[in-house]
Amino acid sequence: MSKPTMLPRAVRAVLCGLALSGLGILSAGADETCLSPYMPKIKGQEDFVYVWTLGVEGLGDEQDKLVTVAVNPKSPDYGKVVGSVSVGGRNEAHHSDFTDDRQFLWTGGLDTNKIFIFDVHSDPGKPKLVKTLTDFVAKSGGVVGPHSFYALPGRILITGLSNNKDHGGRTAMVEYTNAGDYVATHWMPTDDNLGGAVKTGKYADGYGYDVRALPRKNALVSTSFTGWNNYMMDFGKMLQDPEAMKHFGNTVVVWDLISRQPKKVFDVPGAPLEVRCAWDDTHDYCFTTTALTSKIWLVAPDDKGEWQATEVADIGDPSKVPLPVDISISSDDKLLWVDTFMDGKARAFDISDPKHPKQVYEKVIGAQLNMASSSWDGKRVYFTSSLLANWDKKGKDDEQFLKGYAWDGKELKEQFAVDFTKEKLGRAHQMRFGAYSLYKSVAEAQPAPTVAEAAKR
C-alpha cells in the first residue's frame, strides 16, 4: 500500500501554530439536499431539526443525545429545544441518516462503534431510540468508526474510518438491511488489493470517509480522512507527531453502484471530506473539498465518459488554512455552500459552471463552524459548530450552537440561535430534518412499520 505523504511544511507550520493557540480543526456534516436520491424529501417547510450531539463531561447528563429543535415559524416553540433522547455514555457522536423510507434515523459513534436507531415516523417531534447495535466491528470483519450512513433501496451503507488491527486509516464500507442485519463489507482499494480498480495516480491508501450515489451513472463516489489513532488523539499532540501527520487520506474512489466494486482510484491530496452530487438528470458530477489544502474538486466523466477528478477552485486563501469542513449543494445545482472552521465562515460558490466555481458570498457564523444544512427550496440554511471532542476550539471560542438563517439569494439573516452549552446539551454536531407532512399519507394508509417489518418491504 502506498504510504501517504506528509503534509507540506507550510501547512504543518500553520496548523501547529493554531494548535499551540488552543485551536482545532476538521470533520463535517449533512442536509436535505445531500440525502440519498432513494428517499422522500421535505420540499416545503421542515418542522424539526434533529441534532446528533456529543456529550460533555460535567455538562448536563454528560451523554450523547439526539436533540430536537422546532424550526417551523408557525410553531409556538420556534427556535427552541422541544426534546432530547440520551443514548448512554459518550461515544463520539458524529453522523446520521435515514432509511430509504425515512422511517428510521441511524446514528453512530466513532469511538465505541455503537449504532443507535431512532423511530422518527411515529411522532416526528419525539424520536424514540428503538434499537442499538453493539457488534458493528465483529460483524463487519474489523471495521472501526461508523461514519456516513447512506440509504440505498432496503439498505443502509455505512462508511468506516478505521480498523481494529492497527486503528489506522485502512477501512471499508459496510452494508446493513433497514432492520439492522449485517449484509456485506466492501474494503477500500489498496496497492496490495485493488479489488479490480484502476489506480490512476500515486495513491491507493484504502482510507474512507463519505459516500454518495449517482444512480443514473451507476456510480458511488467515496472520499477519505484518517483513522482512530488520529481522530481520537488530542489535536495538539497529533500535530506534533510527524508519523501521525502522514496518515491522512489522499484519495477519491468511484465505485460500481450495483456491484459495489471499486472502479477507479484518484489522487485528491489533503483529506477530501464531504461529497455532494448534482440533482439534475443531465448533471453527472459531484463535488468534494479538501480540508488540509482548501480546494474544491470536481469528480465527473470526461468527454469520453471516463471518470476524472479535477481541482477547480480555491477556498479562501489556502496559505492561511481556513479548513473547509462541510459542504451543501442547492437542489437546482447552482450554489455550493462551504463552511470553513478556522474563520467560522460560510461561503457560497456559484457552480452554474461546475468546472469554474466562483465565490459570490461569505459570512461569519461563529467563532468555529462545522456543518451547513440547506432546505430543499434553498430558503433556509442551518449551521452547527462541533467537529470532534478533542479537536474543537478551546476557551471562549468553543462555541456550541445550532443557528437558523433565512437566505434570500443575496444575504443570510439569522432567525434564531440555540446555545447548546447554556442548555447543557453538549456539542452540536450533525443535523437532519423532520416534518409531519412526510408521514401523514403513510399513517392514513396503514400503521407505521416496526424496524423488523421495514426489512421485509
**In the chain, which residues have pLDDT < 70?**
1-30, 441-457
Scored b (16 or more CB within 10 A) or e, 132-159 reads ebeebbebbebbbbbbbbbbbebbbbbb
Q: Note the pLDDT of residue 239.
A: 76
| Domain locations along the chain | 9-454
Q: What is the pLDDT of residues 354-388, one digit of tens each?
A: 999 999 999 999 999 999 999 999 999 999 999 99
Q: Note the pLDDT of residue 434.
A: 97
Q: Note the pLDDT of residue 439.
A: 86
CA 341 – CA 15 distance, rounded (Å)? 12
Strands 371-374 and 358-364: unpaired
- The side-by-side arrangement of strands in the sheet containing 295-301 is 272-277, 286-290, 295-301, 307-314
Q: Note the pLDDT of residue 245.
A: 87
Q: Could you tell me which residues come within 8 angstroms of residue 226 by beta carbon, excluding any fewer than 6 positions away?
A: 161, 169, 207, 247, 248, 249, 271
Phi, psi at 280, each rounded to 5°: -60, 140
Of the CATH numbers 3.40.190.10, 3.40.50.2000, 2.130.10.10, 2.10.109.10, which one belongs to the domain with range 9-454? 2.130.10.10
Closest CA to 415 of 368, 375, 355: 375
> Is 376 within 8 Å of 33 (Cβ atoms)?
yes
Q: How far is CA 205 from CA 140, 189, 250, 266, 323, in A?
A: 19, 7, 7, 10, 22
Query: Percent of the chain at pLDDT above 70?
Result: 90
Cell 496559505, located at residue: 319
Q: Note the pLDDT of residue 31.
A: 76
Full 3-state SS string of 111-166: CCCCEEEEECCCCCCCCEEEEEECCHHHHHCCEECCCCEEEECCEEEEECCEECCC
- Burial of 114 from C-beta contacts in 10 A (0-12 / 13-18 / 19+): buried
Q: Note the pLDDT of residue 10.
A: 46
